[in-house]
Amino acid sequence: MLRDPGRQIPASRGTVAFRRLPEALRKVTYSGARHPGAPTPECPSHTSDGADDAGGGSAPDAFADLAGGANCQRYAYAVLRHFGLLIPPLRSAELWADDRATRRADPPQPLDLVLFDSGPAEGRPPGYGAHVGVHLGPDQVLHLCREAGRPAVWRYADFAARPRYRRFLGAKRAVGAAGR
């Protein structure tokens, strides 16, 4: 467990957990150009070595890299970073294939990343273009998408009802923590 009680894995679930996040994580706007690894100026937290230097913590400047918006992955990684869990700036296919910073999780638990897509695409690796959210509890996923424009908590059925998210690809659990 993390030492900072304000950053523990949330005991509350769903929208209650969402309302307890810092305002900077509740007010982010969607921007497809602001993805992990995007070059500057779109993502000022991107560094030449590919690392994300936004850092962790709950200080207001820790979320400065979200001020210009984020895509689903960048947002999900920032939520996990708030809770002390680190994910490198991986795109969705890289995240799905990754076995160093994450491991597959079944069933998902709070703060696991969940991936959705429209199904296999010929010539593309699994997870390519997948939508990434954060599992908050039974039937509750926090995510950021173009349709909603701001962070939202949806049920798994809400994803299944949309063709681009109809397949639940799976869940990934962060294995790295801040300060370790």
Weakly modelled stretches of the chain, pLDDT under 70: 1-16, 34-64, 177-180
In a domain, 5, yes or no: no
Cis peptide before 10 (omega within 30 of 0): no
Domain assignment of residue 89, given as a range: 11-177
Check residue 66 and give its pLDDT: 86
Check residue 20 and give its pLDDT: 83
Question: By percentage, how much of the chain surpasses pLDDT 70?
Answer: 72
CATH code for the domain in which residue 148 is found? 3.90.1720.10
In a domain, 1, yes or no: no
Check residue 16 and give its pLDDT: 62
72: helix, coil or strand? Answer: helix
Check residue 41 and give its pLDDT: 42
Q: What is the pTM of this model?
A: 0.79
Check residue 58 and give its pLDDT: 41
pLDDT in tens, 12-54: 556 667 888 899 999 999 987 766 655 544 433 333 333 443 3
- N residues, the chain: 180
Angstrom distance (rounded) from CA 146 to CA 140? 19
Angle at 19 between CA 3 and CA 82, to 5 degrees: 35
| Domain count of the fold of the chain | 1
In a domain, 57, yes or no: yes
Check residue 57 and give its pLDDT: 41
